Amino acid sequence: MKALINNTFEIDLSKPIDISLPLTNTDANPIAWYIEKPTIEPVRFGDWIGQVSEGSSTNFNNIFFNPHGHGTHTECLGHITREFYSINQSLKQFFFTAELISIAPESIGNDLVITKKQIERALNGKIPEAIVISTLPNLESKKHKNYSNTNPPYLLEEAAIFIRESGIKHLLIDLPSVDREEDEGRLLAHKAFWNVKDVNNLNADARLDCTITEMIFVDDSVKDGSYILNLQIASFENDASPSKPVLYKI
């Protein structure tokens, strides 16, 4: 089945490229921010267990997870502001032009960072609505990694400013955060991307309808270039939601 996007781009809906990571209650689940793996377990009322294998008519599970620490998630600027903003109210459109780029972070001291120059070179003049960054080396271990206390690569503030000033509204990356793991709460890349100048008193030109999606995974078989992105979230009234970004080749 094929579809036209804005009467401009034709995509084949039967060939989705899922770049999300599934949520599981096993040690295979990726983890960040010093928390334990998710819990998925049947509801219990006395002797009754919500599991067909235990005699129930249905499987009836509770799920305990953290969207920021347990896999692919999409967040709005409410992630860093005093005032409450929800991803469900911020993200109202779900299809975007997207550019997939692969970048090998550069070493600065003990850190690995993504620079403005690297992103500018990779985009080569293109200005999509969304940018999808896959970091190199693109190891399979990203799917199952415990990132806590590992100082993963991150974006320099200059890179986030460049993305914002380019007019790109949606940033997707295969890291647990666009910022340094331990940065004393500065969150320079988050603030630069959303143009948040004061978390306690939001400026009028802050980017309310822009999103950051973290902990994606792009398989090596998916080549850099232009795509259509379908950014799917659950309807959580929260700063972030688990998400399922899907690419379609144009």
Q: Which helix (H) or strand (E) holds 225?
A: strand 225-233
**6: pLDDT confidence band, cut at 50, 70 and 90?**
low
Mean pLDDT of 132-143: 97
pTM: 0.96
Q: Find out whether 236 and 88 touch, Cβ atoms under 8 Å.
A: yes
pLDDT digits (tens, 9 = 90+) for 89-124: 999 999 999 999 999 999 999 999 999 999 999 999
Average pLDDT over the chain, rounded to whole?
96
Q: Identify the CA nearest to 105 among candidates 145, 137, 147.
A: 137
**Residue 115 burial (CB < 10 Å; 0-12/13-18/19+)?**
middle
Name which residue leads in pLDDT, 16 or 4: 16
Q: How confident is the model at residue 2 (pLDDT cuts 50, 70, 90)?
A: confident
90, 212 Cβ separation under 8 angstroms: no
Separation of alpha carbons 249 and 247, rounded Å = 7
With a cut of 80, say whether residue 7 has pLDDT above it.
no
Spatial CA neighbour of 103 closest among 16, 247, 249, 218: 218
Look at residue 60 and tell me whether its pLDDT is greater than 90: yes
Mean pLDDT score, 230-246: 98
CA within 13 Å, CB half, 114: 29
Percent of the chain with pLDDT over 90: 96
Domains and CATH numbers, the chain: 2-25+67-249 (3.50.30.50)
